[in-house]
Every structure is written in structure tokens, then in C-alpha cells.
Chain A
Amino acid sequence: MSKVRVLVGTRKGAFVLTADGKRESWEVNGPHFAGWEIYHLKGSPADPNRIFASQASGWFGQVIQRSDDGGATWEPVGNKFTYEGVPGTHQWYDGTPHPWEFKRVWHLEPSLTNPEIVYAGAEDAALFRSSDGGQNWEELSGLRKHGSGPHWQPGAGGMCLHTILLDPSNAERMYIAISAAGAFRTDDGGQSWKPINRGLRSEFIPDPEAEVGHCVHHIAMHPERPGVLFMQKHWDVMRSDDAGDSWTEVSGNLPTDFGFAIDVHAHEPETIYVVPIKSDSEHFPLDGKLRVYRSRSGGNEWEPLTKGLPQENCYVNVLRDAMAVDTLDQCGVYFGTTGGQVYMSPDAGESWKPIVRDLPAVLSVEVQTLS
């Protein structure tokens, strides 16, 4: 029988939630790495028992953990992230040059086909790759050395590379996103990169339609249509039908188009989910009502999904990596909140229930569907 494993990263540890395919009864395992910030965990599609976790601390820095038994036990692997060559500078918040400094890993993206290969998205923004299961890391410096690099600036959360999407139809193509530089694409396995921000409009930068400088919060892709991308920008929900070469706004009738998380239904490439957040200074749902919005038309027309979610006095946030879907016949949708709840819907968003209610603030949620 199929099984679901939910990997939850929080401010104070990691949790592994498991259930059978009915998704009614859950076992909660954790905290792993108690007391540490776990920005992200993700399992290898090529070997689901292999899971990578980014463990970080203001005191002790970065640790990468790896499990080879589905999260039951863990071993620390390599944590040396060194920028290639002379790191140079990017812009600081005040516009002055600031040296590139490694701070933490925001996102880990295992290869779709090789369990030894995993990518890491870092703050200050850079992309690293390991080809030995996380023991050693090498920067794909063509990204950071893109000519626009010295002009990149941090978003409020830091200058983080938070999104990595691998194209299942083209091993040479991947997408990344950086706050607040924007989205980039490589078509040669990470050697060279181009900004893919045409069509984005951001009023907080001097040229609202600049090539770089946009605060992209997250990008999602359906694996069967890797050229179609959906983006939650700081403000605005966007889509691209040409692998990011151009974007159009699809915020439509959303009550607010600010937000962090965005994801795509596992079986319906035009069904997408966002969690609208009131504003960039008020990081909580509008009117205290936690509502997931679903579009079944790839954007523009949105419907609120509220059944089982708090509809009063709710002031949590849902962060960029804290939403995921399973691939069971009836697609499950999951998200975690800064209030420590992990909600799941076994029916593609029609109804919701909490798996857990009182974890530390949730930073990331990933789902593995196991046979």
C-alpha cells in the first residue's frame, strides 16, 4: 500500500510525519536536530530513503545531514561551502558594496536521477553542487558571476537562493530564484545563466521592469510541463509559458497578491495553489482568515478553500518552501505555518485538517509519496 512521508523543517528542529495512503492517521517523529534551525529537508527522487537536511545555527553555522533510511537515522556530511575564486561584492541594503559571505543553506534539491547528486541554494546567493552524496560541495559560480551579480541586493530575509527547479525533460536545464535578484535559468547544466525576469514589474526598484532586482518568493513547476512556470513574487502571482523567457500576471481576483508559497496539483498542471498574505509589512492572512486559493485555469480565476482552516483570529504566515503536494490518485496538499501547524488536504484542497498543531514555526514542508 502506498505511504506518505512529510518532511517538516522548523525553527527548532525537523519532524517526519508518516501515514498510509488514506492519510488519516499520522505518526509524528522528531524533533531531529532539536534546537537547530532546519531550513529545508528533501528526499531523493532516485532513492526515497535518502534525505538531505539543512541544519543551521547562529552559534555553530551550517551542518548538512543525510539519512539513508528514510529519516530514522542521520549522519552529518560535508558543510564546507566555499565561494569559487575571489568572492567579490554584491550590494548591501543601503546600496554599498558588501562582500559575499556564506551564511546558510536555504534549499536542497536532490537530482531527479542520481542519488549522489544534490544541489544547495545558499545565502549569500549562490548555487552549490555535490556529486558524492553531500560530502563535498562545489560552487556553480557561473550564476554568481553573471554580470549582474554586483548589483544584487538582499531581501528582508537575506540574499538567499531559495528555489531550485530541475527540468525532468532536459538534464541541462534548471531554474533558480533569488531574493531579491530574481529568477535565472541555465541551459548548460549550470555553467552559464540568464536572468528570466521579463514581464515582472516591481515598484520598489528604480526601474520597475529591470532585468534583475525583483523579489521572487517562489516558483513552481509541474513535471509534465517543465516549460510552464508559476511564480509567487513579493507582490503578484505570475506565469510563464516559455520557460521563463516572459511572464504575465495571473493574480486575477485574489484578495491580495502578496504571498510566499505556490504549488501545482500533482495531476492537473493548470491547478495551482497560493496562500494570500495581507502585505509585505503585515505577514498574516487577510482579515485573520487562513485561506488557500486555488485556480483551476492556471491563474486569474481563483477560489478560496477554507473548509477546516481557521476563519477568525488567525495571524500566521506560510513561508515560501512550506507548501507541497503528494502524488496519490487524490492529490494531497500540505502546508505549514509560522504558528507550528501543518495542515493537509486529502482532496486537492476541498477540506483541510491539521496533522500537528504545535510545532515550532514551520520553515519548509516537503512530501514523499512512497509505494
Chain B
Amino acid sequence: MMIRVLLPAHLRVLARVQGEVTVDAEAATVCSILDAVEARYPMLEGTIRDHTTKERRPFLRFFACEQDLSHESPDTPLPGAVASGKEPLLVIGAVAGG
């Protein structure tokens, strides 16, 4: 299924993309979507989640449909609006640094 993903600005620069990206994910879950993002943009491996454990980096959050989904299991199905492509999955860099 085609999923819309909005990456933080620094990762868009690293991946050399502008605006949202659309990836073909096996399922509408954070894990599956990030698998697809990393397969298409391998330079992003390790920048959103740990290479090995796949844990989310601490200063990043996953939002969708005005919900913070960061603490859900990465295998939890995302809202239907993300699965249908109506809404993007937002990867957000935490406000930090003073």
C-alpha cells in the first residue's frame, strides 16, 4: 500500500528529497513503513531508529492524524487515514536544544 511520510527537514536533505515521500509498505505500521523508507533511502538507516534493535531514536516522534503514536508498538496498525493515503505519517524531531 502506498503510504505518505513526512520526514524532518534534515533527513529530507540527507535523502535528497523535497516535501513528502510516498513509499510502498507491506502494512500500515510504523515498522513496515520505516522498512520501506529505509529500503528506498538507505542513507536514512540508523537515523530514525537503531540499526539493530529498531528502537526509535529518543528525540524523534511519530505523529499521525493529530495523535502521538510514538509509544505504540511499531507493529500496531496506524489509523485508516494513513493506510488509505489520506493522511501522512509524520516523523518529527523533538523541540530541544534551548
User: Is the CB of A204 closer than 8 A to any CB of chain B?
Assistant: no
CA distance in complex: A76, B11 (Å) = 12
Q: Classify the secondary structure of B's interface with A.
A: loop
**A61/B43 in contact, CB under 8 A:** no
CA distance in complex: A60, B8 (Å) = 10
* Count class of interface residues, chain A: 10 to 19
**A80/B10 in contact, CB under 8 A:** no
> A63 with B47: in contact, given A57-B10, A76-B14 (CB under 8 Å)?
yes
User: Is the CB of A345 closer than 8 A to any CB of chain B?
Assistant: no
Measured CB to CB, the closest approach of chain B to A301, in angstroms, equals 44
A58 surroundings in chain B (CB, below 8 A): 59, 96-97
Measured CB to CB, the closest approach of chain A to B24, in angstroms, equals 23
B57 surroundings in chain A (CB, below 8 A): 59-61
User: Is the CB of A340 closer than 8 A to any CB of chain B?
Assistant: no
Interface centre among A58, A60, A62 (most CB of B within 10 A): A60
**B94/A63 in contact, CB under 8 A:** no
CA distance in complex: A62, B46 (Å) = 8
- What total of chain B residues lie within 8 Å of the partner, measured CB to CB? 19
User: Is the CB of B45 closer than 8 A to any CB of chain A?
Assistant: yes
**A58-110 with Cβ < 8 A to chain B:** 58-63, 76, 79-80, 82
CA distance in complex: A80, B50 (Å) = 9
Identify which of A34, A61, A82 contacts B52 (C-beta below 8 A).
A82
**B59/A35 in contact, CB under 8 A:** no
Considering the complex, give the chain A residue whose CB is closest to the CB of B15: A76
> A59 with B8: in contact, given A79-B46, A80-B45 (CB under 8 Å)?
yes
The 3 A-B residue pairs whose C-beta atoms are closest, nearest first, are: A76-B43, A60-B47, A59-B59
Task: Give 21 pairs: A residue, B residue, CB < 8 Å, sorted on A.
Answer: A34-B13, A36-B10, A59-B10, A59-B93, A60-B8, A60-B10, A60-B11, A60-B47, A60-B48, A60-B60, A60-B93, A61-B47, A61-B57, A63-B43, A63-B47, A76-B14, A79-B45, A79-B51, A80-B45, A80-B51, A82-B51
Extra pairs beyond A60-B14, A82-B51 (17, CB < 8 Å): A35-B10, A57-B10, A58-B96, A59-B10, A59-B96, A60-B10, A60-B11, A60-B47, A60-B48, A61-B47, A62-B46, A63-B14, A63-B47, A76-B14, A79-B45, A79-B47, A80-B45
